[in-house]
């Protein structure tokens, strides 16, 4: 049993190395990785098809995800691919969550950001203003979520 846990955490660590920290959404994915892998429904909801239609995924990426039999593995591959996409494409992913009946996932990962902004307005308004000016949370702000 202990071996399985070590292998699982090693796999999670190696997947995190695959993430590109140049984009703010990558930090959001990393922060909520376990929740997203366990909760996303890429297999039955039509999420992958929606992302393909929105030109977030290309045909090869779509086929790679759909070729996986286990939902957990599909979600891992999807998150790995999303981490290399642009912020605009991540916004399309959030829209796709809404369109496929997964608003709870969208709310969970975005409400944490909103909660952070509300808290920093009181304690550190300059960070909150910077995030608003850029229309995104900067790396400095993300480390405190």
| Tokens read off for 107 | 């709310």
Domain count, the chain: 1
**Distance (Å, rounded) from C-alpha 91 to C-alpha 135?**
12
Range of the domain at 43: 2-142
Q: Tell me the whole-structure pTM to 2 decimals.
A: 0.63
Residue 127 has pLDDT above 50, yes or no: no
Give the closest residue to 83 by CA, choosing from 27, 133, 124: 27
Q: What does the angle CA 142 – CA 140 – CA 10 come to, to the nearest 5 degrees?
A: 55
Give kind and range of the element (H or E) at residue 41.
Answer: none
Model confidence at 6, in pLDDT bands (50, 70, 90)?
A: low
* Calpha distance 14→8 (Å, rounded): 10
For residue 64, what are the CA distances in angstroms to 28, 60, 75, 91, 96?
A: 23, 6, 11, 22, 19
- pLDDT value, residue 124: 46
Distance of alpha carbon 17 from alpha carbon 118, whole angstroms:
31
CATH number of the structural domain spanning residue 119: 1.10.533.10
Q: Is the pLDDT of residue 57 over 80?
A: yes
The whole-number pLDDT of residue 35 equals 94
- The single residue listed with the structure tokens 């290399």 is 84
Q: pLDDT of 77-106, one tens digit each?
A: 999 999 999 999 999 999 999 999 999 999
């Amino acid at each position: 049993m202990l071996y399985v846990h070590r292998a699982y955490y090693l796999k999670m660590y190696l997947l995190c190395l695959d993430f590109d920290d140049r984009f703010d959404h990558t930090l959001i994915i990393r922060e909520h990785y376990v929740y997203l892998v366990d909760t996303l429904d890429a297999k039955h909801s039509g999420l992958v098809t929606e992302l393909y239609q929105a030109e977030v995924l290309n045909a090869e990426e779509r086929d790679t995800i759909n070729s996986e039999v286990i939902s957990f593995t599909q979600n891992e591959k999807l998150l790995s691919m999303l981490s290399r996409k642009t912020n605009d494409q991540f916004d399309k992913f959030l829209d796709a969550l809404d369109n496929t009946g997964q608003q709870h996932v969208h709310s969970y990962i975005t409400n944490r950001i909103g909660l952070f902004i509300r808290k920093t307005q009181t304690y550190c308004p300059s960070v909150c203003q910077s995030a608003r000016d850029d229309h995104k949370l900067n790396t400095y702000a993300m480390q405190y979520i």
